[in-house]
Amino acid sequence: MIPQVKTICIAGAGTMGAGIAQFVAQAGYSTILFDIDTAMLQKASAAIEKSLETLLTKQKISATQKLETLKNISYTHKIEELKGELIIEAIVEKLSIKQEFFNKVAANNSEQTIIASNTSSIPITQIAANISHPHRVLGIHFFNPAPVMKLVEIISGVETNQTIANFCKELIQGMGKTCVMAADSPGFIVNRVARHFYVEGLKIAEENIADIETIDALMENSGFKMGPFKLMDLIGVDTNFSVTNSIYNLFHQDGKFRPSRMQQQKVDAGHFGRKTKKGFYTYE
């Protein structure tokens, strides 16, 4: 049985989690945003309000729509308050942490609650392996910035009930997104294809064939809205590096997915991109 979705819970108040929360709240759903770090919740609240104010200034939404969206969102650091018909996880990209989180959430909700991961690369089958009623576990993968980017991947694991996957596709499309169905393969569709956009750009820079500004300018003049280095800074250099590592290992260290030493150095230095004001570029 598929529940009527009234409340959608988002776990993880980082860039992606906050963006997803804003999106579903704008679509009119009661939204609960969870994070164990109250400082992250405060930061997410401020970011959502700023984003909505920007949309209001650009006349993309009305003042009433802004107020209604803010009313639809509540914030909590208590995992037991995460109760709804659909739960979307956007926490750290580590399998054991995701499984531990979902087991706690499953214990607090009914068997009908749909459990989804926003993972960029971890197979849904692995995430669902130790969770009760794995047929209701699937991937709902948004892209950054979540309120703006139209594409969403709906990923079915081996145990995922196809009726539930189809329902989630219709649900998200009803909110205004374009959904594609994907099989449970490392990186799914977009991150598998896009990995070489980043990896080859990094290799060209590492080999001193061209500098990062030239590589970005070349790709942008070829039709891409952003070059690989600007896009990594926007996504988060640390997040992008984590996904590359995950896909590299899931493909049994296939050389074409090898993580970059140059990117590793940025992560080690804490230069994560726009969110730290310094990445491949410096942001004032």
User: Quick check: is 153 catalytic?
Assistant: yes
Strand ranges inside the chain, DSSP E: 7-11, 30-34, 73-76, 86-89, 114-117, 137-142, 151-156, 178-182
Catalytic position from the list 72, 109, 156, 191: 191
Catalytic position from the list 72, 89, 121, 141: 141
Q: Can you tell me whether residue 110 is helix, strand or coil?
A: coil
Output DSSP code: residue 154.
Answer: E
Q: In the Cβ-directed half-sphere of 151, how many Cα atoms lie within 13 Å?
A: 10
Catalytic position from the list 153, 156, 240, 271: 153
What CA dihedral angle connects 235, 227, 178 and 62, to 10 degrees? 70
Cα separation, 184 vs 265, whole angstroms: 31
Catalytic position from the list 72, 117, 120, 260: 120
Residue 167, token pair as written in the block: 């329902």
Sorted by sequence, the CB contacts under 8 Å of residue 207 that are 6+ apart come out as: none
User: Quick check: is 141 catalytic?
Assistant: yes
Cα separation, 205 vs 57, whole angstroms: 39
Q: Residues with catalytic annotation?
A: 120, 141, 153, 191
